[in-house]
């Protein structure tokens, strides 16, 4: 499963990219606004750090407006992925852009039917928001299972399932178990994936035993 980092914070992206764990980045207007920096400058900086897909979201709600914004966004870098909402205008935009070999991330998906529509429109990625479903006492992971099953029924579907609105390490694990293609993960959750009490305990024991020997690997 590919890991995208869900942020527009350059420091976080740079730090995590050095681990080799970042296959791409997802942004949205809210995340970019938090940086306080110029929208285009932020995207240029991210694309200079990450070679994989970088999702940049349109703000227009009509297809003509989305296409005009997409022209400006794709001029930033070759790895820009245009992020459009799961509306009829968004799907029209998706169809036109993918026919021009532009990567498209269809976002705000909350049902398997919506995911099927996005796939038929040629979406590169579909972004189901599992955390927001969980907030409503619904089962976000069930949606991922349903989309996986639908997509696997048809060899012609090439759209990748990009699990979004991830809130916990369990969301990441369950997405991988189901077979999602991508998880876009907030930096704090991605860093937390490495944590386990037994790892810390084992390392402490090894270091304590080594110290008792009075030796040094470098001496």
Locus of tokens 């968004």: 90
Would you place residue 35 in the very low, low, confident or very high pLDDT band (cuts 50, 70, 90)?
very high
Query: 24 pLDDT band (50/70/90 cuts)?
Result: very high
CA distance 68 to 85: 15
For residues 133 and 112, is the Cβ–Cβ distance under 8 A?
no
Domain, as residue range, for 113: 2-213
Give yes or no for residue 219 having a pLDDT over 90.
no
* Residue 106 belongs to some domain of the structure: yes
- Enumerate the active-site residues: 83
66: left (phi over 0), alpha (psi -120 to 50) or beta: alpha
Judge whether 181 lies within some domain: yes
What pLDDT is recorded for position 14?
97
State the Cα–Cα distance between residues 33 and 27, nearest whole angstrom. Answer: 10
**Residue 219 falls within a domain, yes or no?**
no
Domain-embedded: residue 157: yes
Asked whether the predicted pLDDT for residue 111 surpasses 90, the reply is yes
Tokens of 213: 């020997």
- Tokens representing 140 are 């976000």
Percent of residues, the chain, with pLDDT higher than 70: 100
Residue 29 has pLDDT above 90, yes or no: no
| CATH number of the domain within which 109 lies | 3.20.20.70
pTM attached to this predicted model: 0.94
User: Residue 128 phi/psi, 5° resolution?
Assistant: -80, 135
Give the H or E element holding residue 60. Answer: none
Beta strands of the chain (E only): which ranges?
2-6, 24-26, 54-57, 80-85, 104-109, 125-128, 160-163, 182-185
How many domains does one find in the chain?
1
Residue with tokens 């470098």: 218
Contact 117, 97 (CB under 8 A): no
Residue 218: inside a domain = no
Q: What are phi and psi of 153, to 5 degrees?
A: -75, -15
**DSSP helix/strand/coil, 97:** helix
């Amino acid at each position: 499963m590919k890991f995208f980092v869900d942020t527009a914070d350059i420091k976080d992206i740079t730090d995590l990219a050095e681990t080799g764990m970042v296959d791409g980045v997802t942004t949205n207007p809210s995340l970019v606004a938090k940086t306080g920096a110029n929208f285009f400058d932020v995207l240029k900086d991210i694309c200079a750090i990450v070679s994989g897909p970088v999702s940049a979201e349109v703000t227009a709600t009509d297809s003509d407006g989305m296409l005009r914004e997409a022209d400006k966004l794709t001029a930033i870098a070759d790895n820009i992925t245009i992020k459009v909402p799961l509306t009829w205008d968004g799907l029209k935009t998706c169809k036109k852009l993918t026919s021009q070999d532009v990567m498209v991330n269809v976002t705000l998906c909350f049902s398997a039917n919506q995911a099927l529509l996005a796939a038929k429109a040629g979406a590169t990625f579909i972004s189901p928001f599992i955390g927001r479903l969980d907030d409503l006492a619904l089962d976000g992971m069930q949606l991922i299972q349903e989309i996986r099953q639908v997509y696997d029924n048809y060899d012609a579907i090439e759209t990748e399932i990009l699990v979004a609105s991830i809130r916990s390490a369990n969301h990441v694990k369950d997405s991988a178990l189901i077979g999602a293609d991508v998880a876009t993960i907030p930096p704090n959750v991605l860093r937390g994936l490495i944590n386990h009490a037994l790892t810390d305990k084992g390392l402490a024991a090894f270091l304590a035993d080594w110290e008792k020997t009075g030796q040094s690997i470098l001496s």
